[in-house]
Each structure stands twice: as structure tokens, then as C-alpha cells.
Amino acid sequence: MTIHEVPQKRLTTPFYPRLTELDRLNNWHSWKGYTSTDALYDPELEYFAIRNSTGVFDLSPMTKYRITGPDSLDYINRLVTRDMNKIKPGRVAYAVWCNDQGQIIDDGTIFHLREGEYRLCSQERHLPWLVSAAIGFDVSIVEETAEVAGLAVQGPTSFSILRTLGLSGIEELKPFGLTHFDFEGSELMVSRTGFTGDLGYELWIEPAKALALWDALFEAGKLYGITAIGTHALEMARIEAGYIAAVTDFLPAELTVRSGRSRSPFELGLDWLVDFKKPTFNGRRALAEEKRRGSNWRLVKLDIDGNKPANHSYIYTKKNGKRIQAGFTTSAMWSPVCKQNIAIGTVNTPYGNVGDTMQVEIYYQREMLWTRVMADAVVVDKPFWDPARRRATPPGNY
Amino acid sequence: MKTYDAIVVGAGHNGLANAAFLAKAGLDVLCLEKNPYIGGAAVSLNLYEDWIYSNCSYVCSLLRPEIYRSLDLARHGLQVTPYGGGMTFMENGDYLGAYWDSETRYKEYSRFSKHDADAYERYSADTMRQCRFIRDFMMRTPPDPTSFKPRDLMELMAIGKKFYEMGEDRMYDTVRFWTQSVAEYLDEYFETDVIKTALSGSGIIGTALGIHSPGTAYVLLHHYMGEVDGNVGAWGFARGGMGAVSQAIANSFQSYGGEIRTNAGVEQILVKNGKVTGVALTSGEEISARVVVSNMDVKRTFMKCMDEKDLPEDFLHRVKNFKIRGSSGKLNIALDGLPTFPALPKGSPLLDGDMHFIDSMERMELAFDDWKEGTWSKDPYVDMLIPTITDPTMAPPGKHFMSCFVQYCPEKIEGRAWTNEERDAFGKTVIDQIAKYSPDFKDLILHVEIRTPQDIENEAGLTEGNIFHGELTMDQLLFNRPVPGYAQYRGPVKGMYMCGSSTHPGGGVMAAPGANAAREILSDLKRQNTVPENFGDD
């Protein structure tokens, strides 16, 4: 009889062999059980590749589910808060799904691959929730994380690289569109999506063709500054784009232990994702009630004075001439491309309206000595980084 | 003749903790123990050559960190080392491993069901939510819901507030959780039999109930709410065996000037004019004290060591009906070497933890059926550990001590006392079950101590050998523990108190009952409180 032992080592993605070839730092972390790189040679320079040429990020560990069957549209419409009727085949939707209390279980992207065939990508794993939400629907839900390798190809030259790769017609792909190509006899799915707020694409392929795709991509990109990047660089771009991240800027509701630590879509500024015209969806009643009586929390994007990043900072406001605590930052950085001190945070309502000036308490250390500053911070509504090239179709050559 | 400020009857960990907090407040305290050694059921005994046996309780988690710190137990010699691992052996030759690392656990559970691998996260969060609700009340005296005293009202409001703060849906969950069976609770999350089985054991340990009996979900919680250094749910070994816990508390007690007498069994707690005056020892000696605290369980205290005429009838009636049924036995084994388990890879870290040999919910329930029939389980639930893999002090190098907690095991066989042959047959049942998964196990056995509930009662004094001094079901918790109206550690006679695990929050080597009782006594005596508050949110 064979003796079984579950491997305790972190898994590796299909692109791991190429990542290790390029890796100079040996800086790795675990992403849902997969070995994932912090940075391969320099996190700052990798970040600038995203903004200046093209950064390539291995997103294979992203949790993926394949949803198919005659009721798949109805099922997804019941699951998420937004109206999925509008998301036709060949389109991608950012969505959140809630529990019955209207609290967000997770956010993710839903790819409408073909008529009645969807892929849902998320940070956390949700099979029990997805399965129990499917009762009464004729759908199949299959976890396919390991069956699909994914690369984010992000930056101003990404379009030129994919065109050089021979993806004809890619110039017509609009933001949040997806299309299929043949790659060496396998299906290559390309979506114009990403986590960087810039021109960019995501490439999805079966693991057996992953290395061939990588090689072809890097060959096509060698004159366009193609650069493999790690999580650190992506995280910087993510904050500049004003995107929220699960576990960092909000907690999946089902994993919170203390009451009041989860968030509704309204509390994360995602009102636009909630469509009350839909007769039923998970959390609808609770969200309608919240809409009526108001929310407890509000997500804010802050433009902060000075240049000291406001990590783990309290946010204050003035009330009757007195300074009171209003919330805290969840993501913060000095933005090299915007030349701005930026942060994403959570504050109690009614504070944090767009245009309000709040205060942020920043602690920073220089040669062991800690210093505290109170900096003014203006609440802004637009992403910190939002270049026109992100939306241009066809994209420019750059 | 000397009159002590307080006499504590029984030098178990709760008695010693109670005594230590009283002595710390400056009282003149004597702690009496019938056995020649202290510790009660938290004890390390040298029963075979150089081996040290944790022959009653065997692992440590629930011991309140507030007590650990305020009695300075580290300085007094206590060291608790956490362990990981553990597994459930399966009849088909496979096993389910328990891993601390969440991704490894995910992979292990995924072998059986991806659904269950995901579900564990939610199960864990939901269970932790219930833990947090109840943990805050461990170091507090339960309020009496019928009382209008400001303190009771305040405490009731504190519970109500915490309950309300959970949110509507979670309030429903909580009420269900407290009344539900562990099997029903697990069914809400998992689909795989062996996964449910592995998690269900904590719901029945020390309890004369089956996994399908209402109330067992709470028992599971009782085993989850402990911690080692803030790692909630973690369990550890006391270095040198569980007697190290009692010894450290005893050292602390003595450092405050306390006095311990062993071989000093109490025959009766003496009462005069409705007030406690002291105790009479089995030797005939009488010792007087203004306060007498019983660390014995309520049945032993009131039915064996007090004059029934001194007690209110209704109270006595309730004590008689307090559920404290014998449901578990124990095997303590000295081993010549580490047994091998062919199902496991060589050097598996899973061996560090608790091993189980029942792989289905049906077998768990069948084990309980035997108990109902008045006999021990022929296919028992065994919680087996080899502490010497972690602790180098309990056996010579290369040798091992094995602790087998065995459920179910009745106090009487079909209503009569155990015979020696039956005790041996009980031991053989357990050894045979383990040997099925470890062919060399039997050959390594150097010495076995077999303990039925009756043996445990005779030695440690626990009525029916019940490890919790009474079952941890909702009807016997909080203000109902041990008896409604007497949940605040005061006995029915002036000057008489209870500090054993029959009182809130129950058993499990927490030392919380002892500490809570000390707080009440010091308050009655208008002395400064020495008992710490709980650390709060964590």
C-alpha cells in the first residue's frame, strides 16, 4: 500500500520555471498556497515598468470557478448585486456578492466566456457558498484554479506587444472585453482587464502551454521593455488605481469574527454595483434597508499633504471645533507617478464627503527615531492614476 | 487552637489557585489533600521506573493566561509547550491529518472534498465567534438572573450587550449553537464523514452524551476556547506532565505564606449554628477556620462531606440530580520505544498531536450505544497522545509515555461494580484498537495503568470519574452551575464556598473556578481583590 502524505511545500505555478530564471532576489511569499514573488530584481523599477513600458505578473494562483449550465445567468444574477443581463458574451464584469445581511463576501471579476459559460475570479475561496447559492438552479460550478494559468500584461506598451505576438484584432478589444485566440493549437483567452489602472490585458491559457506563451510573449516584448514583476510593484499600481483589495481594504464577511468588521457595497463606495431593479439577489433586503437608513462606514480616497506615507494611520475630522477620530487608513503610499501622498481608508459616516479636509496621523522612522505628524488630507473621488490611454480603443503604440 | 482564615479542601489545581489568591490577599490559608501528593486530577505520578505519567488530565490549553501571569506560574516552574499535528486513522488504510498550516490543511481536506476544505474557514470563524462570546465570561462570576442586586443586573446587562452586539443572525446562531448537537453543527459545514468525525470528538470528551445528543456543540466550544500564548484553540503540554501545573500553583501559594497538608483527607465540613467552623479529618483531628472552600465536586462535597441536616432540602435535591456521570476511562502506558504507524510516512510531524482511531460518525454513535447498554465501548473513541515526543522530561531518552483517554466507559458495568477481569478486558479493547494501526505497539508496552471511572473516583475523588466535575450542558452552565441560585461560589451555609469545576465555568484545567471563588470570598471578607480580570478582546 502506498503511504500518502500531503505535500506541505508551497505549490508552484506553471510559469514558475521562467520566474526563477529571472529572479535575482529570492523574495517569495505564499499566495493561496502558491509560491509567489514579492519582487524579482527591484520592486521600484518593476513598478515603473508597469507605468512606462509593460510589467508581466503571474496571476495563476487567483481562485477561479467555471460556471456553466442553462441557468448560469440567472444563478449569477441571484449571486451578485449588479445586473448581469448587461454583461454579454465577450464581456467582463467587476462584481461583489453579499450574504443575506448585505455584507460583502468577496469581490471578483466575472468573465462571460461564451453564451451561458462564465469564469469567476476572486481572492478567497468560496466553493461552499457558491454551491449552496446554486440550489434550485441548473448550473455546474467547478473550481479550476489549477487548470488555468494566467498572466497580467500591464502597461502602455502592452498593446504593441500583443500585436507583435500576432493577436490580430486585439486593437478592437475594448476595456472589459474578452476574446479568444488560437495559440499553438490551444485556446488563448485575452481580456482587457487588470489591477493597475493602466492600459493592460490578462492572458489565460491551459498550463501545458504556459511556458510557450511566456516565451512567445517575452520575445514579442523584447523591444517594448517587457519586464516580469512581483506583487510589490502590482500593489503600488493597485493603490494608485484606487482599487480595493480583499483582506487589505475590507474583510470577507464570512471570515469576520467580531461584529461590525464586515462591509456592505455602499460602505466601500460600490453603490454602482448594486442594482435594485433586479427583483432578487443575495442581500437585497438588507441593502435596501441600509439604503433607507444610511450606512455606518464610508470608503475614502485621500490626497495627503507632505510625502510621508500614512500606513496604519488614524484619520481624524473636526466636529464642533474639536478633533475626533473618524477612521483609519488601509492602504497608503507615496505615488511615484502622481507625485502625491495617497491612501485608501475607512471612516465613519457622515464624515469623509468628497472635498472634505480631514487629518491623518502619520508616524515615521528615520535612523531609529520615530516622529509623528498630523497632515491634512483631502477626500477625492477619482482614481489617483487614470490616464486616457487606459480607455483608448484602439490603444496607442507608445 | 489555631483558627485559619480559610481552609481549602482538596489540593487540585482549582483548590490551589483559590488558596493562592486568598493567601496573596494576606489570609492565613491551609490547603488539605487526602492523597499523599497534591494535584488532584492535574497530576504527574511516577508509576513505573523513571517514567512520569500525566495519569489524569494530559494536555493544557484552557488554563487562563490571566491566572498564569498573576500567580507568576512561569517563575514557579510552569512551562507549557504547544503541539501541532494529530490525525484520525481510517479503516481503509488512509488517514486524515490535522495541520496548523492553513494551506496544508486545505490540501489535506481537499483530498476528501474541496467543498469541505473551503468550508473549514467559515466553520473556524463561526466557532471562534462563539468562543469570543463565552470567553469573556470565564473570569467572571455568573450573574443571577432572578436577583435585583446592582452587580447582578450590571453583569446581566454585560452579557445582554455582548449578545446583542453579535448582530441579529448571529444571535440566532448562538442560541442554536448552545442547544444543538455537535453532529448537527458540523453537518452545516461539512459533507465528508471522516472530517466531521475528526472534529466531533471535542464535542463528547468528558460527557455522557453522543455526538447526536443536543448540547454537545457547546462541549466542542469548551475545547476550542483555550489558547497557548494567544493562539486560540491551541493545546500544549505542561513540561513534566500535568502535575507541573498544580505544582507551580502550589509553589505560588506557598510563596504567599500558604500551608499545604497532604495525607489529610476531610471527613466532614463542620457547621455550627448555620455557620462553618472548620473541618474534621478522617484521622479524627479537627481544624477550625472562618471560611471553608471545597475544591471537591458538588456531589462529594454535599453528599459525602457535609451533614445533610445542615443543608436546605431543595438544594440537596438538586445536588443529587446534578449530572456528573462517568463516561470516560484512561490507559497510561510506558513504552520501550516509539511505536510505528505504517499508514504514516516516516518522521511525520502529525505524531506530535492527538491520534484517533474512529473514522465515521456512525462508529462514534455506536461507541455511545455501548455506554447506554451499561458497558464500555467495544470500538471506543480514543484520544491518544505521546507527550514524550515533545517533552524530554517524562521518560528516559528513546522511551515514551502514552496517554489514552478513552470514551465511553461507564462507572458501573450493567449497574454493578467493575471486576478486575472486566478492567483488563477494557484495557485490551483499547490496546487492540491501537495495535490495529501499529503492529509493533504491543511489543513495546512495558507497563499499563488501566483506569475506569471508579478507579478515578477512588483516587482523584471525582464523582464517577467525571473529568469536568459535572457535564457541560446548557442546563448545568452559567447561573445554573452547579445549582440555580448557588452559582456565585457561595454554599448554602455561611462561610462555606465551592471552587471546583462543578462551578462556573467548569472543568478542563482552567483554574478559573478557583480564581472566581477567591474573588467572591475576598469580597465577602472585605479584603482587597487579588484575582485578575480577563485580558479582554484578543
Give residue-wise pLDDT tens across range B474-498: 899 999 999 999 999 999 999 999 9
Contacts of B345 in chain A (CB under 8 A): 3-5
User: Do A255 and B122 make contact, defined as CB atoms within 8 angstroms?
Assistant: yes
Query: Residue B103: which of A3, A30, A126 has the nearest Cβ?
Result: A30
CA nearest neighbour of B327 among B276, B392, B387, B371: B371
For residue B287, pLDDT over 60 is answered with: yes
**Lookup: cell for A320:** 464642533
How many other C-beta atoms are found inside a 10 Å radius of the C-beta of residue B115? Answer: 19
- B427 assigned to some structural domain: no
Report the pLDDT value the prediction gives residue A259, as an integer from 0 to 100. 87
Is 90 exceeded by the pLDDT of residue B528? yes
Class level of CATH domain A16-60+148-241:
alpha beta
Q: Are A7 and B167 a contacting pair at CB < 8 A?
A: no
Spell out which residues of chain A touch residue B108, defining contact as CB-CB under 8 Å.
Answer: 6
Contacts with A57 (C-beta within 8 Å, 6 or more apart), sequence order: A151, A152, A154, A228, A229, A230, A231, A233, A234
Task: Say how far apart CA B225 and CA B216 lie, in whole Å.
Answer: 15
Record the cell numbers describing residue A23, joined without a space: 529572479
State how far the Cα of A131 lies from the Cα of A139, in Å rounded to an integer: 9
CB-CB under 8 Å, A101 with B169: yes
Q: Do A125 and B118 touch (CB under 8 A)?
A: yes
Domain residues of chain A, as ranges?
16-60+148-241, 297-384
Contacts of B425 (CB under 8 A, 6+ apart): none
Question: Does the distance separating the beta carbons of A8 and B114 come in below 8 Å?
Answer: no
Whole-number pLDDT of residue A341: 98
Find the CATH number of the domain harbouring B279: 3.50.50.60
Which of B84-113 are b and which e, b meaning 16 or more Cβ less than 10 Å from the residue's Cβ?
ebbbbbbeeebbbbbbbeebbbbbbbbebb
In a domain, B501, yes or no: yes
Partner-chain contact B118 A259, CB within 8 Å: no
Positive/negative CA dihedral, B176, B181, B186, B192: negative
The span from the CA of A374 to the CA of A363, in Å, is 9
C-alpha cell read off for A56: 508581466
The pLDDT of residue A256 is: 93
Whether B340 contacts B378, CB under 8 Å = no
**CATH topology (fold) of A297-384:** Elongation Factor Tu (Ef-tu); domain 3 (2.40.30)
Is B104 domain-assigned? no
CB B47 within 8 A of CB B332: yes
On the question of pLDDT at A175 being above 90, the answer is: yes
CA B495 to chain centre: 27
pLDDT of residue B422: 98
Neighbour count for residue A314 (Cβ, 10 Å): 16
Reported as a single tens digit per residue, the pLDDT across A112-152 is 999 999 999 999 999 999 999 999 999 999 999 999 999 99
Tell me the shortest Cα–Cα distance from B359 to chain A, in angstroms. 17
Q: Once rounded to an integer, what is the mean pLDDT over residues B66-76?
A: 97
Give the structural domain span for B484.
3-43+59-80+239-323+466-524
Question: Which residues make Cβ contacts (< 8 Å) with residue A125, sequence separation at least 6?
Answer: A32, A63, A143, B106, B117, B118, B121
Which residues does residue A360 pair with via DSSP β-bridges, in sequence order?
A315, A375
What pLDDT does A1 receive?
Answer: 56
Residue A135 contacts B, CB cutoff 8 Å: no
C-alpha cell at B117: 476544505
Segment B232-249 shows an average pLDDT of 93
| Rounded-to-integer distance, Cα B333 and Cα B450, Å | 9
Res B164: pLDDT? 87
Please list, in sequence order, all residues whose beta carbon lies within 8 angstroms of the beta carbon of residue A309, skipping any fewer than 6 positions away.
Answer: A332, A333, A334, A341, A343, A362, A364
Question: In total, how many domains does chain B have?
Answer: 1
The pLDDT value given to residue B167:
82
C-alpha B160 chain-centroid distance: 27
Asked if the Cβ–Cβ distance from B122 to A33 is below 8 Å, we say: no
In B, residues 111-140, which contact A (CB 8 Å cutoff)?
111, 114-115, 117-119, 121-122, 125, 128-129, 132
CB pairs under 8 A between A and B: 71
Decide if B212 touches A, using CB distance below 8 A.
Answer: no
CB contact under 8 A, B128 and A257: yes
Asked if B1 is an interface residue toward chain A (Cβ–Cβ < 8 A), one would say no
Q: Which of A36, A135, A257 to mutate to test the interface with B (most CBs of B within 10 A)?
A: A257
The DSSP line for B408-429 is ---SSBTTBPPPHHHHHHHHHH
In a domain, B26, yes or no: yes
| Total H helices, total E strands in chain B | 17, 20
Which residues face A107 on adjacent strands?
A: A96
B348 at the A interface (CB within 8 A)? yes
Q: Which of A124, A131, A256 sits opposite B115 (nearest CB)?
A: A131
State the best of A127, A142, A282 to mutate against chain B, taking most chain B CBs within 10 Å: A127
Task: Please state the rounded mean pLDDT for residues B439-461.
Answer: 97
Average pLDDT over residues B122-140: 90
Instruction: Determine, for residues A143 and B132 on separate chains, whether the beta-carbon distance falls below 8 Å.
Output: no
**Chain B interface test: which of A2, A3, A251 (most B C-beta within 10 Å):** A3
Q: What percent of chain B has pLDDT over 70?
A: 100
Q: What is the pLDDT of residue A312?
A: 95
Mean pLDDT for the stretch of residues B146-175: 89
Residue B29 lies in a domain: yes
Alpha-carbon distance A129 to nearest alpha carbon in chain B (angstroms): 8
Q: For A59-73, B102-116, B160-174, which range has the lowest pLDDT when averaged over its residues?
A: B160-174
* Chain B residue whose CA is closest to A131: B115
**Which candidate from A7, A8, A128 shows the least CB-CB separation from B115?**
A128
Quote the pLDDT of residue B537: 72
Contacts of B34 (CB under 8 A, 6+ apart): B10, B263, B264, B265, B266, B282, B461
State yes or no: pLDDT of A158 exceeds 80. Answer: yes
CA dist B159 and B231 (Å) reads 24
Q: Which residue in chain A is spatially nearest to B116 when comparing CA positions?
A: A128
Chain A residues touching B89 at Cβ < 8 A = none
Measured CA to CA, the distance from residue A312 to residue A360 in angstroms comes to 10
Please tell me the distance from the alpha carbon of residue B431 to that of residue B436, in angstroms, as a whole number: 9
**Residue A7 contacts B where some CB pair is shorter than 8 Å:** yes
Judged by phi (left if over 0) then psi (alpha if -120 to 50, else beta), residue B364 lies in alpha
Q: What is the pLDDT of residue B61?
A: 86
A296 at interface of B, judged by CB pairs closer than 8 A: no
Whether A289 has its CB under 8 Å from any CB of chain B: the answer is no
- B103 contacts on A by Cβ (under 8 Å): 10, 30, 32-33
Q: How many of the other CB atoms lie within 10 Å of CB of A59?
A: 23
pLDDT at B134 (0 to 100):
86
Q: State the nearest Cα–Cα gap between A119 and chain B, in angstroms.
A: 18
Question: Can you name the residues that pair with A204 across neighbouring β-strands?
Answer: A150, A189
CB contact under 8 A, B107 and A33: yes
pLDDT at residue B228 greater than cutoff 80: no
pLDDT at position B538: 62
pLDDT digit string (tens) for A232-242? 999 999 999 99
Whole-number mean pLDDT of chain B? 95
B3 DSSP β-pair partners: B288
CA angle, corner A186, sides to A182 and A192, nearest 5?
55
Q: Is residue B214 part of a domain?
A: no
